[in-house]
Structure 1
Amino acid sequence: MKRRRRKEHEVFSLSFLDAISGGFGAIVMLLVIVKVAEPTVTRDRGIGLENTAITLAKELPELEQRIKSQQQQLADTQNLLALVQRDVTRLAPGAAAARSEREAAALTARAATTIEQRLAVARQELTAEMLRLQAVRPAAANQLVGGIPVDSEYIIFVIDTSGSMQSIWPTVVRTLDKVLNAYPKVKGVQVMSDMGEYMYSQYAGQWIPDTPGRRRAVLQRMASWAPFSNSSPSEGIVAAIRSFHDPDKRISIYVFGDDFTGASVQSVLNTVASINPRGRDGKPLVRIHGIGFPSLFSMPGAGAGAIRFATLMHNLASENGGTFVGLPSTR
């Protein structure tokens, strides 16, 4: 009887080994691929960063220079702004003052123009009225000349010697000569500036004897006489009254001028009224006449001073027995 042979079972067959070999092979291939690729990626990245660093290093000095330039420009701009702000602060008060001065000058010019126009009309009306009165009532001989009484025995001239008057000085000298000629003979003469300064210091407080020679000497000295003046006759008028008033003498003061720069017309009127009282006959001790010269009307904006002078002298003459005459021209 034959022995039955057991069937032998093989644990590791060819198919199983193939599968295992293939799996190991795949793992090995993966490991090889990973190991080979990783240094390549790392090396490539390092090369890129290095190039970027080199490029930035080359550009850095230029960038630093540009930053310094921008900072310098900013500093210059800030300095300029500070200078401009300082100039604005410094010039602001001056600009405001200049604007105020321009506005005040424009207002003064308009006022002066209006005053000059009104004065011209008033002068025309006054001239027409004087002509009418002269035709109706002729002046008595040796009593009225040009509407001014000439009955005084002593005459004092108080003359504005300022620059505006000096500009028409020949006219002033001729007017002085005409007034002297209206008095053929007086007992004494005196000439003072509007500040009270004497033409002849040796005759201070005294009367200059009236002779033809003295009159010529006064006119000759007058041609070059130019003491300081503040364009205000009040000082000279007060000095003349205080130095020469005498109830026993008939005295007249002639004020030559074109401007009044004093603070107040009324204060001058009050001062003169206190030192020039009226005598027993009701007349003031000293007559005060005024002759106004139109020199300021040729100067833009200066006519207001001439108006103040005319106002002062008109009131002084009216209150002190005198007459005020405004000359129509400087010729």
Structure 2
Amino acid sequence: MKRRERRLVPEISISFLDVVSCGFGAIVLLLVIAKTVESTAFEQSLNPLNGSIKQLQQQLFSLRGETATLNRELLSREEQLSDLKTRIARLQEQLASVEKQRDAIAQVDTIERDKLTLALQVLTEEMERLLGDQYRRKNQLVGGIPVDSEYIVFIVDTSGSMFNFAWPKVRREMINILDIYPNVKGIQVMNDMGDYMFSSYRGKWIPDSPGRRNAIIKTLANWSPFSNSSPVEGIEKAICAFYSPDKKISLYVFGDDFTGGSIKQVLDTVEKINRSRRNGDQLVRIHTIGFPVHFLIQNGRAETAIRFAALMRELSYRNGGTFVGLNSLK
């Protein structure tokens, strides 16, 4: 019985060691497998992170570049704004200076005007005292222009050069002429072709009144019918329509150039129209106002302007009027 027990002990010991060895091997194998899996998973998790970091870095660099560009633009705009503020301040100073000078000049003009008005009143009273209340000059002149007429007709060149470059001056000159005729019996406005400003007064006199004078000046601002830059038609129609032996009439011809043919032919035609068949007297006075448009604008037609001046000077001389050549459009 003792021999059997000794045989069994080693067998049992060997089996136990085998089990222990296998278990230890299994543990080692599990550790190796687990480490390999963890390493692979970690590497896989690092790859997306590396891509995201690179993308974020690129976006950061791009934003830094855009920020630098915007900062430069902002600095440039701030410099421009500073320059504009400086210019505005300078212009405001100049405007204040000009307004101050204007006010000073206006004050001086008012004082001088009052002095001249007073002097005129004193001289007029003295003249009336010496000559009597009934005395009237046969030929009243203002600025060298006879102003003894009771009816006035404006014949205005409405060509493009006049309308585009001289129209404000035309308006002022018409106002000046109306001012030296404070009271007339009739007014009419035509263009150089003989077209009426107011068709309702075709062939009729416009009664003089402050309201009608204002209407003429207001309508003139946008009045530009077709024109051939020759006053012959307008003068002829004005004389034929309005001449009357019992009326003193003056024509005022406004223009800047003459594009017609013979100057002599125009003079002869007007002289024939404006002469009485009975005694050869002039039917109406013809005054002419020359506007220097073509001497002041670029590519102006100086030759036609010179021809106009020559024509108007002789035309007014032959027809009892005065030629006024302006030297500015201001």
Q: Which amino acid aligns with 1:178?
A: N
After the TM superposition, list the runs of 4 or more consecutive aligned residues in structure 1 that deviate by more than 3 angstroms. Answer: 278-283
Structure 1 residue 275 displacement after superposition = 1.4
- Candidates 217, 227, 250, aligned match of 1:229: 227
Q: Work out which structure has the larger RCO, using CA pairs closer than 8 Å and 6 or more positions apart in sequence.
A: 1
1:147 maps onto 2:137 in alignment: no
- Candidates 124, 143, 162, aligned match of 1:165: 162
1:264 maps onto 2:238 in alignment: no
Counterparts of 1:210-225 in structure 2, within 5 Å, are 210-225=208-223
In 1, the alpha carbon distance for the partners of 2:208 and 2:276 equals 27
In structure 1, the partner of 2:203 is 205
In structure 1, the partner of 2:20 is none
Structure 1 residue 284 displacement after superposition = 0.7
Q: Which amino acid aligns with 1:147?
A: G
Q: Which amino acid aligns with 1:302?
A: R
Number of residue equivalences: 192
1:301/1:328 CA distance change after superposition, 3 Å: closer
1:248/1:142 CA distance change after superposition, 3 Å: closer
In 2, the alpha carbon distance for the partners of 1:288 and 1:247 equals 16
1:158–1:253 CA contact under 8 A, matched in 2 = yes
Query: 1:115-138 CA deviation, whole Å, 9 max, x = no partner?
Result: xxxxxxxxxxxxxxxxxxxxxxxx
In 1, the alpha carbon distance for the partners of 2:292 and 2:157 equals 13
In 2, the alpha carbon distance for the partners of 1:242 and 1:182 equals 26
In structure 2, the partner of 1:252 is 250
In structure 2, the partner of 1:286 is 284
In 1, the alpha carbon distance for the partners of 2:138 and 2:278 equals 26
Unpaired segments ≥5 residues, structure 1: 1-139
Q: TM-score scaled to structure 1, two decimals?
A: 0.56
In 2, the alpha carbon distance for the partners of 1:283 and 1:147 equals 21
Query: 1:133-174 CA deviation, whole Å, 9 max, x = no partner?
Result: xxxxxxx79921221101000000000011111122111101
In structure 1, the partner of 2:319 is 320
Structure 1 residue 281 displacement after superposition = 7.7
SS of the counterpart of 2:246? coil
Structure 1 residue 217 displacement after superposition = 0.4
Which deviates the most, 246-255 or 282-291? 282-291
Q: Which amino acid aligns with 2:147?
A: V
In structure 1, the partner of 2:16 is none
Bigger CA radius of gyration: 1
Unpaired segments ≥5 residues, structure 2: 1-136
In 2, the alpha carbon distance for the partners of 1:170 and 1:203 equals 25
In structure 1, the partner of 2:303 is 304
Structure 1 residue 283 displacement after superposition = 3.9
1:192–1:236 CA contact under 8 A, matched in 2 = yes
1:297–1:303 CA contact under 8 A, matched in 2 = yes
1:279–1:285 CA contact under 8 A, matched in 2 = no
1:252–1:288 CA contact under 8 A, matched in 2 = yes
Counterparts of 1:45-124 in structure 2, within 5 Å, are none
In structure 2, the partner of 1:105 is none
In structure 1, the partner of 2:124 is none
In structure 1, the partner of 2:192 is 194
Query: 1:45-71 CA deviation, whole Å, 9 max, x = no partner?
Result: xxxxxxxxxxxxxxxxxxxxxxxxxxx
RMSD in angstroms over aligned alpha carbons? 1.8
Structure 1 residue 273 displacement after superposition = 1.4
